[in-house]
Amino acid sequence: MGRGQWLGVAAVCAAALTCGVAAALVSRRTAARRRWNRAVAVVRGLEEGCATPTERLRRVANSLAIEMFAGLASEGASKVRMLLTCVDALPNGSEQGIYYAIDLGGTSFRVMKLELGSGSMVVNKKVEHQPIPEELTKGSSEDLFNMIAFALKNFIEREGGSAEGKALGFTFSFPVRQASISSGSLIRWTKEFSIEEAVGKDVAQCLNEALVRNGLNLQVTALVNNAVGTLAMGHYYDEDTVASVIIGAGTNASYIERSAAITKSRCLLTSELMVVNVEWGSFRPPQIPLTPYDICFNDGTHNHYDQAFEKMISGVYLGEVARLVLQRMAQESDVFGSSMNCLSTPFILSTPCLAAIREDDSPDLRVVGRVLEQQLKIQDVPLKTRKLVMRVCDIITQRAARLAAAGIVAVLQKIGRDGTLCGTTEARKIRGEPKRSVVAIEGGLYQGYSIFREYLNEALDEILGDEIASTVTLRVMEEGSGIGAALLAASYSSTRQQHSP
Ligand code: BGC
């Protein structure tokens, strides 16, 4: 072969090689694009599954209102329990004296002392937060109540006060069948608490016994749900407060109902009004499909397919839903590289982390990168993937906040404050202008996550329309669940009754 021919062959080989490399590159890129598209498809699927257009939210509100009607008719007629609380009068500002409260329900509990002066005046307030060791949420009821009583005893001693004859409010944020204002049996645990032998027990009595064991001479005067406590505090400051909502570790609502509208358990009805603990966490909105992540997630918790509304809205769960979506993205594509072990650890992504991701407004999404690195041990995530992660957190946040808004509208609808009865000029002539409605609200998720609040308020306006929305005020009640229990203890204590006119 002559030199010219060699050169020709070499040129052909080089061209073939270049073509091969180029083809390999193209096919690698195509594969990478395909994998990226699969990650994007996961997010699109989530977006479709979580869609909450206004009309759908109206129907959700309507369904919940119907469930609420059914729940008041007879026991077990609805998934929404509509528990009668035995609270037939709310604090009105005339309460005076020193009261204690214990607030148990989330990841921490609180002990507090409240000194009240007349005219809705909190003269002095001392609150202490204590974490609840996880093993106590799954151990024995005696250990749990002992720990609480012991903490109260230390608190009173540190404060230099005396428990002698004082009234005690006990906020217990789980569904309870109330027998009186100061007693009630636990129906079931929620929010990852699971001390099975406590179910069916009178939780006020459990606490009273623990107080005796710890040498404290005081007893539970008012046993209240946190939603009821928040309503009580709201009413103490503003008599237009008609309902309350909790959006924290769990979610719930309570409101003031006419006794005439309640047909079940009539023996508990002692006056014209009764506060009802809705327990809306167990509502399953028929218009909102469970996404594969909700389903998978339900498989992993002890209260499997229950508490659907709560699992779509509240703080114990949102981070976990996001983790499951990110895990699916990692399985479908290589967006997180090979370091994805942590993504298979349940509850490793907390809701505060989800909020931090969504609220990151730095141009390079630095916070998103940091959370992925520190919480999930996923490093060097490119910007376009961080954007996708933020989108996941946004979708989950939006659905939660908008469903919570629909829940609030359902409560307003139940008491005729959503405008549907006074929308027409004719109806208005009969019923008058819509009344001002205050909804007291408490919970870390609502108070600490501004984008959640914005989405909720926006949805409320959309569902109610501007005119009615302008008559509804959401008012944050800081520490409302515990302070409200102390206020109710004040209202229902014998000392207070002696002072009453
Ligand atoms: C409980 C409610 C409570 C709510 C908010 C739910 O899991 O069932 O009783 O009010 O959490 O803490």
| Ligand 1, pocket-test mutation among 79, 173, 186, 310, most atoms within 8 A of CB | 173
Is residue 281 lining ligand 1, measured as CB closer than 6 Å?
Answer: yes
Q: Which helix (H) or strand (E) holds 145?
A: helix 141-158
Is residue 23 over pLDDT 90? no
Q: What integer is the mean pLDDT of 338-343? A: 80
403/317 Cα distance (integer angstroms)? 14
Roughly how many angstroms between the first and final C-alpha of the chain, as a whole number? 121
148 beta partners: none
- Report the alpha-carbon angle 457-459-465, nearest 5: 95
Distance of CA 360 to the CA centre of its chain: 22
Angle between helices 351-358 and 383-414 (to 10 degrees): 110
Q: Which helix (H) or strand (E) holds 104?
A: strand 97-104
Least confidently predicted of 83-92, 229-238, 423-432, 460-469? 423-432
Is residue 497 over pLDDT 60? no
Indicate the pairing of strand 176-180 with strand 183-186.
Answer: antiparallel
Percentage of the chain modeled with pLDDT above 70: 89
- The atom number, within ligand 1, closest to the CA of 105 reads 12
Q: What integer is the mean pLDDT of 350-360? A: 98
276/356 Cα distance (integer angstroms)? 35
Does residue 303 contact residue 433 with C-beta atoms inside 8 Å? no
In terms of Cβ atoms closer than 10 Å to its own Cβ (0-12, 13-18, 19+), residue 48 is exposed
Question: How confident is residue 12, by pLDDT bands cut at 50, 70 and 90?
Answer: low
Does residue 226 contact residue 234 with C-beta atoms inside 8 Å? no
pLDDT on residue 385: 96
Question: How confident is residue 455, by pLDDT bands cut at 50, 70 and 90?
Answer: very high
Average pLDDT of the chain, as a whole number: 90
CA distances from 435 to 228, 473, 477 (A): 22, 11, 21
CA distances from 135 to 107, 146, 148, 487 (A): 12, 14, 14, 31
DSSP state of 363: T
Kindly give the distance from the C-alpha atom of residue 192 to the centroid of ligand 1, in angstroms, as a whole number.
11
Question: How confident is residue 8, by pLDDT bands cut at 50, 70 and 90?
Answer: low
| Ligand 1, pocket-test mutation among 107, 252, 307, 317, most atoms within 8 A of CB | 252
Kindly give the distance from the C-alpha atom of residue 306 to the centroid of ligand 1, in angstroms, as a whole number.
13
- Report the alpha-carbon angle 319-323-326, nearest 5: 135
- The atom number, within ligand 1, closest to the CA of 175 reads 9
158/139 Cα distance (integer angstroms)? 28
178 beta partners: 184
pLDDT on residue 60: 98
182/398 Cα distance (integer angstroms)? 38
pTM of the shown model: 0.91
Does residue 39 contact residue 328 with C-beta atoms inside 8 Å? no
pLDDT on residue 422: 47
Is residue 229 lining ligand 1, measured as CB closer than 6 Å?
Answer: no
139 beta partners: none
Is residue 190 lining ligand 1, measured as CB closer than 6 Å?
Answer: yes
DSSP states along 60-102:
HHHHHHHHHHHHHHSTTSSSS--EE----S---S---EEEEEE
Kindly give the distance from the C-alpha atom of residue 249 to the centroid of ligand 1, in angstroms, as a whole number.
8
Tokens representing 297 are 């997630």
pLDDT digits (tens, 9 = 90+) for 78-127: 999 999 999 999 998 899 999 999 999 877 899 999 999 988 788 899 99
Kindly give the distance from the C-alpha atom of residue 128 to the centroid of ligand 1, in angstroms, as a whole number.
21
In terms of Cβ atoms closer than 10 Å to its own Cβ (0-12, 13-18, 19+), residue 258 is exposed
pLDDT digits (tens, 9 = 90+) for 135-146: 999 999 999 999
pLDDT on residue 499: 38
pLDDT on residue 268: 86
Handedness of CA 306, 312, 314, 317 (dihedral sign): positive
319 beta partners: none
What SS3 class is residue 449? coil
Is residue 280 lining ligand 1, measured as CB closer than 6 Å?
Answer: no
| Ligand 1, pocket-test mutation among 224, 310, 317, most atoms within 8 A of CB | 310
User: By C-alpha distance, which of 303, 263, 265 is closest to 284?
Assistant: 303
pLDDT digits (tens, 9 = 90+) for 281-305: 999 999 999 999 998 776 666 666 6
State the alpha helices, DSSP H only, in 214-291.
226-237
pLDDT on residue 495: 44
pLDDT on residue 423: 45
pLDDT on residue 460: 98
Q: Which of 215-219, 351-355, 417-421 has the highest mean pLDDT?
A: 351-355
pLDDT on residue 120: 79
Q: Which residues contact 364 (CB under 8 A, 6 or more apart)?
A: 383
209 beta partners: none
Is residue 367 lining ligand 1, measured as CB closer than 6 Å?
Answer: no
pLDDT on residue 496: 45
Q: Which helix (H) or strand (E) holds 453?
A: helix 450-464
Is residue 498 over pLDDT 60? no
pLDDT digits (tens, 9 = 90+) for 381-412: 999 999 999 999 999 999 999 999 999 999 99
Give the distance between the most distant pair of CA atoms in the chain.
121
Question: How confident is residue 432, by pLDDT bands cut at 50, 70 and 90?
Answer: low
| Ligand 1, pocket-test mutation among 110, 191, 311, 312, most atoms within 8 A of CB | 191
Distance of CA 356 to the CA centre of its chain: 17
Kindly give the distance from the C-alpha atom of residue 416 to the centroid of ligand 1, in angstroms, as a whole number.
24
304/300 Cα distance (integer angstroms)? 7
pLDDT on residue 303: 64
What SS3 class is residue 475? strand
116/487 Cα distance (integer angstroms)? 9
Kindly give the distance from the C-alpha atom of residue 92 to the centroid of ligand 1, in angstroms, as a whole number.
25
